[in-house]
Amino acid sequence: MAPSVEALPTPSHSPPLDHPLKHSQRSHGVNSKNEITFDAKPYPFSFSPQACALVIIDMQRDFLLTNGFGHIQAGDAGVDAVQKTIQPTVDVLQAFRACGLPVIHTREGHRADLRNCPTTKLVRQARTPGSRHNLVIGDQGPMGRLLTKGEHGHDIIDELQPLPGELVVDKPGKGSFFCTNLHQQLVDRGITHLIVCGVTVECCVSTTVREANDRGFDACVLSDCTDGFVPDFKTSSLNMVCFSDGLFGFVGSSTSLRSALVEYRTILPPPPQWNGSLDIAHLQQAYSSGLSPSSVVKQVLGRIREVEADHPHIWISRADEREVFNRASFLDHHSDRNLPLFGIPFAVKDNIDVAGLPTTAACPAFSYTPTENAAVVENLLNAGAICIGKTNMDQFATGLVGVRSPYGIPHSRYSKEHVSGGSSSGSALSVALDLVTFSLGTDTAGSGRVPAAFNNIVGLKPTKFTVPSGGVVPACKNLDCVSFFAKSVQDARAAWLIAKDFDGSDSFTQPSLRQLPPPTNRSLLQPDSTYTFSLLPPDLIQQHLSPEYILPYEKVRSATAALSNATQVPFDFTPILKAASLLYKGAYLAERSGAFHPFFTQPENAPSLVPAVKSILDAGLKVPATEALDDLHLATDLTRQVYRQFDKCDVLVVPTAPRHPTIKELEVEPVKGNLALGVFASAVNVLDLCAVAVPAGWTGIGEGKLPFGVTLIATAGREGVLLEVARRLEGLL
């Protein structure tokens, strides 16, 4: 009989469980911090529901069923032991799903050519003198080639098959982190705690828990949801996990956890009747209670008609209403409501392909109608989202202002006199006016953040080359990235997580295994983690911010002082400002011109070109090669300087824009006014940083007030930390 957690001996040199610290933590159910707590060793395990994932390790046919790899290794007795973990794991999985908590599955296996299988692993048994094992990894077994991806035996057993939206991590090794993107996937989702089930306890489970511990995650293994092929190993393996006050983690039982989850569900408020809100959580609750996607589409289209008189220039083209309703009806009758973006309406900037809708990049003569979706759009549609249409933008994504479009000039959600921001003007407004849940933009110099600030919404600019760019009209291919607008950090994160699925056909998109900074414990924030941030120094505030922006930024400074466990550190902004100045000159200007050459030089296309855009593209043709190379070398040097400073600083908090200009001001000074808006935004693209813009208060009073926003900036691949700090700051602002 498998030992229960209560049967595990407490090491004699560990403090007893009634130690004052541990006694204060002993509880069961949901505590005052809304954390779920259940009995475990060395003391009760607590986690925030939003920051915990169930990780089910290698519950594959090859390890659990007769004639699989495990059966060949361990015989009937070994398989009998691991099969006893199936039902408890099913029970925990169902409990997590019922609570709407994240679930992750892993599968161990190798490519068909075995090139990702180390020789030592492949031949260890075959070369053992007198070995009884005639079959090794890759050999043909009763369920296909052993531990080989794509074979029947490699897949997860029927009882535990993943649902849409549940992450599946294919791993080539014993640990779940080695040569996988699991670390990045966890921190991107804000996960800090892991509940671990699976097989085998002595091998893949123990290895994964140790890896997780080194990377800063808290992990608890459920003793009745894991076992191995050698009976004596289970107790030893689990004792080692919780040895010395949880040297590697915790050990609990599924019974205790499920009891705590039941209590958690009882305190959750019942799903409210749908009130028209388009945020993802409300829509998911409403859909689970029977709301039809067609009802949501009806409201969205009605809302678009309501605001059209005041905001006539949001859209360049919209999907045919019959097709939108057909999509909603299809989802309602033929799709799984567990799809992560089931029935969620979204909009797409008109430099991103949507099959059947024209792509203009805000230039009529440039227009074409694609037959395929951009990869990022395809990812969202596959997740159940509904595309409403294509939004207005600064022509060729050249501008931060939103006034450079032949399809009309959109204005801010809050003022007809003030610019909407660009180049993703329509995408920002579609969210700000509650026409869609989220929208896609692009960000080459701040276009995914400045419009967010001017319309009081969130704008996420991910690490470049991590979101597929296939089917996106390039502006400056070395800097471009798809960006995300939403009303909240949570919704921006949700859309980004789905959209960024790797596209191997796009030469610029890189998998999350690209060479980012090492995945250390600094890449996630535990509830009690300390971290550092930096703000603009007083001289830069006075030099760059308009008078009406100084007070709200000082209020942000006060709010950051209330962040728990956060410490302000100095930061030299000199390389930031130098990098921003490179965006519309030299190398990057030449690359922008190259993207649309010879189109913009051809006389027949001249009537479709916005004069300010045409002058910028013309200037790019005159950049000497030596100047372009000098700029690229300088950008590399500045990047190194900034990253060196980020070794001591986790997050920068800067104004998204220095001021909010009027449309008339941009008519008088179209170039300088545009450049000024990028003083704190454009460097993010040049220096390979990630950023998120969030609302941060207001300027003025009464009807004349306008939104103010700040941007949080971190190094490449640190979206997880960035979004967690943004979420915390969001609550203070």
Helix (H) or strand (E) holding 196: strand 193-199
β-partners of residue 110 are 148
3-state secondary structure of 225: strand
Q: What per-residue confidence (pLDDT) applies to 508? A: 77
pLDDT for residue 537 is more than 80: yes
Residue 130: pLDDT band with limits 50, 70, 90? confident
Burial class (CB in 10 A: 0-12, 13-18, 19+), 34: exposed
Catalytic annotation on 390? no
Backbone angles phi, psi at 715, to 5 degrees: -75, 165
Q: Model confidence over 646-703: pLDDT tens digits?
A: 999 999 999 999 999 999 999 889 899 999 999 999 999 999 999 999 999 999 877 7
At 436-489, the pLDDT tens digits run 999 999 999 999 999 999 999 999 999 999 999 999 999 999 999 999 999 999
Q: How far apart, in Å, are the Cα atoms of 220 and each of 37, 63, 357, 422? A: 12, 22, 49, 47
In whole angstroms, what separates CA 164 from the centre of its chain?
Answer: 17
199 contacts 193 by C-beta, under 8 angstroms: no
Catalytic residue among 317, 423, 488, 682: 423
Confidence band (pLDDT; 50, 70, 90) for 524?
confident
Is residue 367 flagged as an active site residue?
no
Q: Could you give the C-alpha distances from 35 to 26, 46, 215, 527, 727, in angstroms and in order?
A: 13, 6, 22, 11, 17
Is 620 a residue whose pLDDT tops 90? yes
Q: What sign for the dihedral angle of Cα 176, 180, 184, 186?
A: negative
Catalytic residue among 349, 390, 487, 578: 349
Indicate the residue type of 322.
R
* Diameter of the chain measured on Cα atoms: 87
* pLDDT of amino acid 271: 75
H and E: helices and strands count for the chain: 26, 25
**Residue from 176, 425, 430, 447 carrying the catalytic annotation:** 447
DSSP letter at 205? I
Looking only at the bridges linking them, the beta strands covering 566-568 and 482-486 are unpaired
What string of DSSP letters covers 630-682?
HHHHHHHHHHHHHHHHHTT-SEEEEES-S---BHHHHHHSHHHHHHHHTTTTT
**Could you tell me the two tokens for 38?**
């259940």
In this predicted structure, the answer to whether residue 523 has a pLDDT above a threshold of 80 is: no
Residue-wise pLDDT tens digits, 16-71:
434 333 434 445 688 767 899 999 999 999 999 999 999 999 999 999 999 999 99
**Considering the chain, what is the average pLDDT of its residues?**
92
Q: Is 317 a catalytic residue?
A: no
Domains of the chain, with CATH numbers?
27-267 (3.40.50.850), 293-499 (3.90.1300.10), 524-732 (3.90.1300.10)
Whether the Cβ atoms of residue 143 and residue 155 lie closer than 8 Å to each other: no
